[in-house]
Amino acid sequence: MGNFDIDEDLSLVLTKFPKLELINDALFGVIDIFDNNDNYYSSYEVKIVIPKGYPYVFPSVYETAGRIPRIDNRHINDDEGDCCVCVLQEADIRAKRGITILNFINEYVIPFFANQIYYEANGKWANGEYKHGLAGILQYYNEIFNTQDIKLILKGIDIYFKGSIKPYEKCFCGNDKKLKRCHQKTFFELEKMSKKRINDDYIYLSLLNLKMKNNSIFHHYHLQMK
Ligand SMILES: [Zn+2]
Ligand SMILES: [Zn+2]
């Protein structure tokens, strides 16, 4: 950890994945997917972009042959085939620690394509999934706050940003328990993320909250992912 050498990283990648080729700031080629017993399954044509902020920015991977249908359900973003290998919050948390291209391939790219093979065969995901895009943001916060109540989530994030977390007082959620025994763990989850990520999500959740309150006014307002 803390020791990142991009040249060493890329030379390891090219050794372990000889069907990839480095052109400028991206790797192009084929990733072969094997099962746990080293039996060959299938291959995907990819482009893996090495981010400018390496290793503290999450890399991106594209499926370039158009094998995976470009639909939300398959976690592909657009015609280019930008793969949604995990939710934005996890990407943020993982990048904060620093992520090599080799780790990115092993931890995210290969599981993503292995899951796509499973989906092709079974019409569903093996281990459940996060909803794609903006719906996935809400789902992520629903899970870490253990509530469907957006107002409560916003309140919790407010407290986090203000640094006014009081572990020995009653929890902000209205539960009779002390915060320490209630939503403290939610703050530990928030701490793993960058302020920028939480802030972007907060803005989205605020708009969503308004939209739900004034459904008629905001009826034609469509949020767009940047
Ligand atoms: Zn997705
Ligand atoms: Zn609570």
Centroid of chain to Cα 75: 11
Segments forming the whole domain that contains residue 182: 134-213
**pLDDT above 50: residue 225:** no
The residues, any chain, with a CB within 8 Å of residue 74's CB and separated by 6 or more, are 68, 116, 119
**pLDDT above 90: residue 131:** no
Partner residues linked to 27 by β-bridges: 22, 48
- The confidence score (pLDDT) of residue 215 equals 62
- The confidence score (pLDDT) of residue 224 equals 42
CA of residue 134 to ligand 1 center, whole Å: 9
Same domain for 186 and 112: no
Average predicted confidence (pLDDT) for the chain: 91
Same domain for 48 and 20: yes
CA of residue 90 to ligand 1 center, whole Å: 12
When pLDDT is averaged across residues 200-209 and rounded to a whole number, the result is 95
Same domain for 146 and 185: yes
**Considering every ligand atom, which ligand is closest to the CA of 225?**
1
Radius of gyration of the chain (CA): 20
When pLDDT is averaged across residues 129-136 and rounded to a whole number, the result is 85
| Domain at 87, CATH number | 3.10.110.10
Whole-number percent of the chain with pLDDT over 90: 79
Q: Which sign, positive or negative, has the C-alpha torsion 84, 87, 92, 97?
A: negative
Given 122, 153, 173, the domain boundary residue is: 122
Same domain for 103 and 41: yes
pTM: 0.85
Yes or no: say if 61 and 83 are a contact pair by the CB < 8 Å rule: yes
Same domain for 145 and 89: no
Given 87, 122, 157, the domain boundary residue is: 122
Structural domain tally of the chain? 2
Given 99, 122, 145, the domain boundary residue is: 122
- The confidence score (pLDDT) of residue 2 equals 57
